[in-house]
Amino acid sequence: MKKLHFIILSLLTSFAIQTGYSQNKKPNILVILADDLGYGDLGFTGSKDIQTPNLDKLADNGVIMKNGYVTHPYCGPSRAGLITGRYQARFGLEINLTNSPYDMYNGLPLTEQTFANRLQKTGYETGVIGKWHLGGSDTFHPNNRGFDYFYGFLSGGHSYFPKNVKTHMPLINPKNNTPHYSANEGSYWPLTRNDQAGEFNEYLTTALSKDAAKFVSKSDKPFCLYLAYNAPHLPLEAPKETIEKYSFIKDKKRRTYAAMVDELDQGIGIVIEALKKSGKLDNTLIFFLSDNGGPRKMGETFASNGKFKEGKGSMYEGGCHVPFIVHYPNGNFKVKKFDGLVSALDIAATAVALGNGDTSGKSLEGKNLIPYLKGDKKGSPHEALFWRMQDGKAWGVRTMDAKFLQRNKKTAVPELFNMAVDPYEDYDIISKSPKLRKELAKLWNDWNSENISNIYLQAGAYQKKRLDMYKKMYEDLVEKSKKVKLLEIE
């Protein structure tokens, strides 16, 4: 009998090793971030024309955060908040950083830890694949910010096809021979793998997905992977055959955009399949969200944010209210849809709590979501969520019941909405609710008192100032040369 018990125990142990299953094993962490994805452009959020079966399945088997938000309505600041687990206004990063390879100051401040820093210290193998956008010099390189592995690009955007890769970007606009102040310098540069050039020989979304699949498959240690796609961010580029799949969409831009979202979904499917084959899916905590809403300005109307007003860059819901999924089979979640206020800040807090990560240094501002999803805690993880742009020229505060905001327009005035009955912000009640206005103003002012003003230049302005600096340096040297007495020899 003892021999039989020993055989059974050996078989079970072998099964656990082969499948990666262990009751005591730390969970793997996978954060999947889309870029400029419209809220209404996924099956589980109501899309009728774009097919996203892999994300729909992830949502069906996980938890949909009905009130899931990011901390800023556009790329760079939103990512800074997510990756640190702290409001980016705490450390003055409220703009899109440019990709400046020789600037040791222009990047995510070294005073801040990433969630990868915190998990790396407790034994996690960490990686980031895709878009970085948090500093282009070696000082801010992902390998120096807590990530053991990096494959992707440091800039804020990238072309999707290898044929478009160049070794530099022109600084002169050929149309008028004036300086070209690009906000996405590096968009056509080769990809990077750690500190070397990385191969790039297929559609970018697919290349990033396959690399992520390899990462999650090979790791024997618990892993934390930040998979930051640039899809479906501009430029609108997709494989011809996928575009043809959406030939029924009349608008050409939306047709290509739909193909890009489709390719994104296919790529996520590749990663999920790798987790299944390696026996790691059940023990992997997966977050999926977008960095902000879909673009809806300057003719960019190819994305749909559903019923939410406006989009990327806006203080209305279309700017920051994003598709948000949490998937973790071993979590034994008791809810399928969660109504409480959830922030991208919660990703770091939840991952660090489950992974027993380092909590030293500056405090994380998110909440561990697991007790809420298991039903151990009731209500909303946050009393209120906050937004700020341009040092407070535009702002917003949202509680479960109301939202008080001012948009980033010269003519904008404060607006107040009852979110319980008007989640799409159609009816401004500010004139009827002075008490509520005062309460929300106090919440925002108390929060803002711990912030600092922005300490960086927006990417385009940074490029202009840098090129002006080069010009001034040259002019100074020319002027100096006129005053130098030339040597004479005999």
**Tokens standing for residue 210:** 């396959």
Read off the pLDDT of each residue in 129-138 and give the average, rounded to a whole number. 96
Other C-beta atoms closer than 10 Å to the C-beta of 386 total 21
Please pick, among 75, 141, 224, 327, the residue that the annotation labels catalytic.
75
Q: 203: closest CA among 165, 238, 228?
A: 238
Span 311-339, pLDDT tens digits: 999 999 999 999 999 999 999 999 999 99
Q: How sure is the predictor about 176, in pLDDT bands with cuts at 50, 70 and 90?
A: low
- Residue 146 clears pLDDT 70, i.e. is over it: yes
| pLDDT for 170 beyond 70 | no
In percent, the amount of the chain with pLDDT more than 70 equals 92
Looking at residue 18, its pLDDT comes to 42
pTM metric for this prediction: 0.93
pLDDT band for 6, please (50, 70, 90 cuts): very low
Please enumerate, as own/partner, the contacts of 356-359 that have beta carbons within 8 Å and a separation of 24 or more.
Answer: 356/26, 356/122, 357/115, 357/118, 357/119, 357/121, 357/122, 357/124, 358/113, 358/117, 358/118, 358/119, 358/121, 358/122, 359/118
State the SS3 of 132-174.
Answer: CCCECCHHHCHHHCCCCEEEEECCCCCCCCHHHCCCCCCCEEC
Q: Provide the pLDDT for residue 180.
A: 60
Question: What is the tens place of the pLDDT at every residue in 409-449?
Answer: 888 899 999 999 999 999 999 999 999 999 999 999 999 99
Q: Which CATH class is domain 25-382?
A: alpha beta
Whether 133 sits among the annotated catalytic residues: the reply is yes
Written as one string, the DSSP assignment of 210-232 is: HHHHHHHHH-SS-EEEEEE--TT
Instruction: Please tell me which residue in 5, 72, 133, 168 is annotated as part of the active site.
Output: 133
How is residue 19 written in tokens? 């499948």
Ordered by start, the domain boundaries in the chain are: 25-382, 387-448
pLDDT tens digits, one per residue of 251-308: 999 999 999 999 999 999 999 999 999 999 999 999 999 999 999 887 778 999 999 9
- E strands in 272-393: 284-290, 324-327, 337-343, 384-389
Mean pLDDT score of the chain? 92
CATH of domain 387-448: 3.30.1120.10
Assess whether 320 carries a catalytic annotation: no
399 close to 436: Cβ distance less than 8 angstroms: no
The answer, yes or no, to whether residue 361 has pLDDT greater than 80, is yes
d(CA 325, CA 333): 13
